[in-house]
Amino acid sequence: MKSLKAQHHRLSSSEEEIQILESNMPSFSGDRFVSELENSNLFPLKPTQIEILQINLGKMCNQVCKHCHVDAGPDRKEIMTRETMNECLEVIRNHHINTIDLTGGAPEMNPDFRWFVEQIRAISLEITIIVRCNLTIILANPKYHDLPEFFRKHKLEVASSLPYFTAMKTDSQRGDGVFDKSIKALKLLNEQGYGVEGSGLILNLVYNPSGAFMPAAQSGLEAEFKKRLSDKFDITFNSLFTITNLPISRFLEYLLRSNNYEGYMEKLIESYNPVAAAGVMCRTTISVGWDGYLYDCDFNQMLELKVTSEDSRHIRDWNQQSLTAREIIVKNHCFGCTAGAGSSCGGTTA
Amino acid sequence: MKTYYNPEDLKNFSKIGEFQKPLADKFFDYYGEVFAEGALTAREKSLIALAVAHAIQCPYCIDAYTTDTMEKGCDEEQMMEAVHVAAAIRGGASLVHATQMMNKVKEISM
């Protein structure tokens, strides 16, 4: 399967995506999300404090997941350079950031991934570094086989997608054979102590619904995942994060193609939760694109909606004061983060 | 009207109170409490509802509880097993009456 970009698909254009999100349905045309925030006294939406720097190391990935909001895949060549990484390090060195969240694509495919992690650790032993590892990358090539040891050495926190504890649902979303490889990779991580009680090495799993429906309640599903993975595969992990699929990129393409778009959007809107809206991740996060540009979140990054602070739109121009005072860009795709129990890269928010 | 069943009508279920509000309110309050977490989990209750929906062959209920069980984290295998429970009880309900037939046969046979 090719990325939407390689297919020259109309939804590889962020302008086209935004147009669809704003005009395709009478029940939420225009700025429906803005109206909801106004009713919740949250508009304009502002940051609380910048605690997390989520850095996209590139759009290249060994998988082509059907719901991917990045439209990542082997045919994507956008990769963060060492020069941009150095600019990120400068910000990490000079500002109080609690957490560095490394994502992609498969962030490990960036040739400077290990160098970058070592540089962050050289700055601080305390800072939390999360790697969003798709699991199969560990087995994709011998040069990646020692990634679990590398993660352990630098005390990275591992967050890995696993849509379900069976092959059928996992493979339907992430590709044939992904479940079996993911299980092997999870065993390798467990062998290093990841997800094992008392080790201090955190292994969290991420659940995305494999279709046009909302995620299950996080705590109940976590208990079910723990039991199934332990009973059948002897695998342990720390927490399960449930994440709602946002209607952009490949998931938007799926919704439109399968005639599920209208029903899905209605459900997101009906499920708007002001408590979840107050806790959205963009209030504590800055997302850095592979080319160094700054965004409110990973989703706004994919829609090419750069932060509104004009003097601080690139990592090299980082201005903490201006970024903290900025207005966060919100559009109808944001209903994905405010539905039900809320959704963020760290799971539910309400 | 081309068909007795229109999927869009499911969204209007909550509007039955337009014709008789007090009873509708009581029903939906009761409905909400029935499906809340209790001695059974909401997930278990959703699977029971899916099975019953098939037993009573209600298209609205099948539509609603297929989505609901998936949103409770169930997978296709679990959902189909629930439907087989309904089928087994329905089939068993017919077959268990065969004992009456057998009794009658024995009663009137030499």
pLDDT for the residue A29: 65
Domain contains A344: no
Report the gap between the CA of A222 and the closest CA in chain B (Å). 10
Model confidence band, residue B1 (pLDDT cutoffs 50, 70, 90): low
Q: Give the Cα separation of A293 and A304 in Å (integer).
A: 9
Q: Report the residue from A168, A211, A224 with minimal CB separation from B73.
A: A224
CB atoms within 10 A of CB A202: 17
Long-range Cβ pairs for the range A3-11 (8 Å, 24+):
A3/A64, A3/A71, A3/A72, A3/A73, A3/A75, A3/A76, A4/A71, A4/A249, A4/A250, A4/A253, A5/A71, A5/A75, A5/A76, A6/A73, A6/A75, A6/A76, A9/A253, A11/A249, A11/A250, A11/A252, A11/A253, A11/A256
CB atoms within 10 A of CB A51: 16
Domain contains A295: yes
Beta carbons within 8 Å of B85's beta carbon, 6+ residues apart: B51
Q: Which two tokens stand for residue A8?
A: 């020259």
pLDDT for the residue B4: 87
Report the gap between the CA of B67 and the closest CA in chain A (Å). 7
Instruction: Tell me the per-residue pLDDT of A216-252, one tens digit each, with 9 for 90 and over.
Output: 999 999 999 999 999 999 999 999 999 999 999 999 9
Q: Which two tokens stand for residue B57?
A: 């062959």
Q: Give the Cα separation of A145 and A192 in Å (integer).
A: 12
The mean pLDDT of A51-76, rounded to a whole number, is: 97
For chain B, say whether A265 makes contact (Cβ under 8 Å). no
Domain contains A93: yes
Q: What does pLDDT average to over chain A?
A: 96
CB atoms within 10 A of CB B92: 10
The mean pLDDT of A279-305, rounded to a whole number, is: 98
Report the gap between the CA of B72 and the closest CA in chain A (Å). 4
Across the interface, whether the CB atoms of A169 and B76 are under 8 A apart is answered yes
Q: Report the residue from A168, A211, A221 with minimal CB separation from B73.
A: A221
Domain limits, chain B: 10-39, 42-110
Model confidence band, residue A24 (pLDDT cutoffs 50, 70, 90): low
CATH classification at residue A58? 3.20.20
pLDDT for the residue A110: 98
Q: Give the Cα separation of A288 and A295 in Å (integer).
A: 6
CB atoms within 10 A of CB B91: 11
Beta bridge partners of A316: none
Interface mutation vs chain A, best among B14, B37, B45, B75, most A CBs within 10 Å: B75
Instruction: Tell me the per-residue pLDDT of A82-126, one tens digit each, with 9 for 90 and over.
Output: 999 999 999 999 999 999 999 999 999 999 999 999 999 999 999
Q: Which two tokens stand for residue B5?
A: 């069943």
* Residue of chain B whose Cα is closest to the Cα of A242: B73
Domain contains A72: yes
The mean pLDDT of A315-342, rounded to a whole number, is: 96
* Residue of chain B whose Cα is closest to the Cα of A264: B67
Q: Which two tokens stand for residue A268?
A: 């997101």
Q: Which two tokens stand for residue A330?
A: 């919100």
The mean pLDDT of A251-263, rounded to a whole number, is: 95
Least confident of A129-143, A159-173, A272-286: A159-173
Least confident of A16-25, A64-73, A280-289, B67-76: A16-25
- B73 pLDDT above the threshold of 70: yes
Across the interface, whether the CB atoms of B72 and A209 are under 8 A apart is answered no
Least confident of A3-7, A30-34, A56-60, A129-133: A30-34
CB-based contact A206:A243 (threshold 8 Å): yes
Q: Give the Cα separation of A207 and A144 in Å (integer).
A: 24
Domain contains A1: no
User: Which range of residues forms the domain containing residue A275?
Assistant: 10-338
Number of domains in chain A: 1
Chain B CB contacts of A217 below 8 Å: 42, 72-73
Asked if CATH classification 3.40.1190.20 holds for the domain at B42-110, the reply, yes or no, is no
- A348 pLDDT above the threshold of 90: yes
Please state, in angstroms and as integers, the Cα–Cα distance from residue A82 to each residue in A85, A111, A313, following that order.
5, 9, 19
pTM: predicted TM-score of the whole model, two decimal places: 0.91
pLDDT for the residue A31: 83
Domain contains A239: yes
CB-based contact A183:A211 (threshold 8 Å): no
- A30 pLDDT above the threshold of 80: no
Beta carbons within 8 Å of A257's beta carbon, 6+ residues apart: none
| Among the listed residues A76, A62, A238, A74, the one whose alpha carbon sits nearest the alpha carbon of residue A139 | A62
